[in-house]
Chains A and B, each alone.
Chain A
């Protein structure tokens, strides 16, 4: 199977190259996503997961690397070519209310997406809009409403609707349910899963919530300070996390079951995320890592293959092999 999206050595650096204080928000990120699948991108605030998403769409121009979408390198496209291609690559954000123009009624918000790409003109336009609203489970009468009249869940449905309007192949979902109540969260998650099945969509699902990522993803990439530290199929990474960061992250997520909680061993990390403008030498996680050794300060760990489709960047994983 060929990958729909291939991201190679993607870098987003802020500041003059080589100058002190350069923030390497994304620093050599490589992964593939196959058509019809979901890649979960997880990590904590500031790890670069959203920046990676924006860089894929060229909303932030990467400073290096390639983003191959169906074989075309998005980083090399000019503005016009990029705009044409954006039809195929869409994004939805955490705060749908902020993403929707408050002065446009819902029908126009969806219609705008069609107009930009010259799709469905004339009588077909209105039909298409109501078809799209129906697809995301919004009642037809909302067409004349304004965003402020919608609940958070409804606003997110409109945002999804706008993304779908242009018939994309890939949607970057940036924390799409994080601001919603759990019951509404479940509605949106189910909607995204249904749409994926029906339309054959490919998702990059960016989230800090490991429970949701497990629920929606096929593959999972864990990021820390601009780098992917572990990558694996969903079952594999949740059953056998290898990188010390992944392990502590998983152990920190609470489970809604008091019996399990009472017996869980938490790996409590020390301290906070280091300053991204001055990251630790060697492995960036070493300052908080419970398994760090002196060597970790010296070498930037390489991908250590662990199983088919599973790798982690930790020099300690090479011990004993």
Chain B
């Protein structure tokens, strides 16, 4: 049984201009210990997918529906707010792009780590403090005991993200969701954080959903990747397989737009022309059609159904990219 199983997740938002279809029928499984990448551009629905799983989408104006959303056999859709709260932080945790906004600026780091432990693990103050020191050491913060009394503003961006990881992992959750967790960091610090996430999740067998717009980060970290566009997963596959044989017009577009530090890319980038689609009135046809360079006649006839293009690898694209 997969750790997390999502079937036909739809998340909509009521706005003055109409209903925004932010997530449009997303389905996937996440195995024990697996790192799954969610890749796509702004507005593709990656973050809303994650927030929906965490049940952090405010309802209203949001509305989440799903045929199933099971975490370790628990149906997340059926839980009331207090039941979800007891799962958040203990069985599933999330870290965000900007740790400064996730940390409370007027509470010490120590207080913010122990808070989670005391709430979910019901440990006393002394024990929580001991565990907090352990956690800070685990995430590579030197002089951990002294740092418990520090406030978030006294930490650098990389250190704050380490604190967030410490808080997220404090109760040993089975699922960790990281939403652009290294995007705001410098590359050398990003490398440190990725290294840390890899090590900790491997040691603890945590499953990870890693949201990123950076194909490079995903290529180095994830076991599997879901490419998202206009609120839907348009291609999914094991990491090597997908990068070797990208099988959706959008995936190809992303790869063609990405310059490479190893200099093996094309001399000129191939951008995706045009702009992201309107999510208020989604077109029944392939949402990427207006911007697609490889579209075929059939794309105008009806929506593309996902089809198998390799082992465990599928794409919702009608173009024949093998030839």
Contacts and interface: CB of A to CB of B under 8 A. Distances in A.
A256 B186 contact: no
Given A181-B41, A189-B269, A211 B258 contact: yes
A256 B158 contact: no
B262 A255 contact: yes
Contact of A190 (B239, B258, B268): B268
Interface in A273-292: 273
Interface in B33-51: 41-42
Given A151-B275, A189-B269, A208 B259 contact: no
Contacts of A182: 41, 213, 215, 254, 257-258
Contact of B260 (A187, A193, A211, A273): A211
A255 B269 CA distance: 15
A227 to B, nearest CB: 17
Given A183-B257, A214-B261, A272-B189, A266 B195 contact: yes
B323 interface: no
Contacts of B189: 44, 272
B123 interface: no
Interface string A208-243: 101110110000000000000000000100100000
A250 B263 CA distance: 12
B269 A254 contact: no
B260 A186 contact: no
A199 interface: no
Contacts of A249: 187-188
Counting contact residues on chain B (CB < 8 A from A), the size range is 35 or more
B159 interface: yes
B288 to A, nearest CB: 11
B272 A269 contact: no
A317 interface: no
B156 A215 contact: no
Contacts of B284: none
A269 B218 CA distance: 21
Interface string A253-268: 1111111111010101
A126 interface: no
B214 interface: yes
A182 B240 CA distance: 21
A211 B262 CA distance: 8
B28 interface: no
A50 to B, nearest CB: 14
B255 interface: yes
Given A214-B263, A249-B187, A256-B255, A186 B192 contact: no
B217 interface: yes
B258 A256 contact: yes
Nearest to B253: A183
A258 B262 contact: no
Interface in A108-146: none
Given A181-B42, A187-B273, A273-B156, A254 B217 contact: yes
Interface residues of A, number: 43
Given A186-B272, A190-B269, A215-B269, A252 B255 contact: no
A212 B127 CA distance: 48
A186 B269 contact: yes
B290 interface: no
Which of B159, B188, B195, B276 has the most chain A CB atoms inside 10 A of its CB?
Answer: B188
A208 B187 contact: yes
B259 A215 contact: yes
Contacts of B269: 186, 189-190, 215
B105 interface: no
Interface in B206-234: 213-220
Contacts of A208: 186-187
Contacts of B270: 186
A214 B253 contact: no
Nearest to B216: A254
B105 to A, nearest CB: 19
A251 B194 CA distance: 13
B219 A253 contact: no
Nearest to A43: B186
A266 B196 CA distance: 13
A266 B156 contact: no
Contacts of A153: 275
Contacts of A254: 214, 216-217, 219-220
Given A183-B253, A186-B270, A261-B220, A268 B187 contact: no
Contacts of B259: 186, 189, 211-212, 214-215
A193 B271 CA distance: 13
A291 to B, nearest CB: 15
Contacts of B172: none
B216 A255 contact: yes
A259 to B, nearest CB: 6
Interface string B180-197: 000000111111100100
Contacts of B125: none
B151 interface: no
A181 B156 contact: no
8 contacts: A182-B215, A183-B257, A212-B259, A238-B263, A252-B188, A255-B216, A257-B243, A261-B219
Interface of A: 44-45, 151, 153, 181-187, 189-190, 193, 208, 210-212, 214-215, 235, 238, 248-262, 264, 266, 268-269, 272-273
Given A45-B157, A215-B265, A250-B261, 17 more contacts: A45-B186, A181-B41, A183-B272, A186-B257, A186-B259, A189-B269, A190-B271, A208-B187, A238-B262, A238-B263, A249-B187, A253-B187, A255-B216, A256-B258, A257-B243, A258-B243, A268-B195
- Closest CB pairs A-B (n = 5): A254-B216, A186-B271, A183-B272, A261-B220, A186-B257
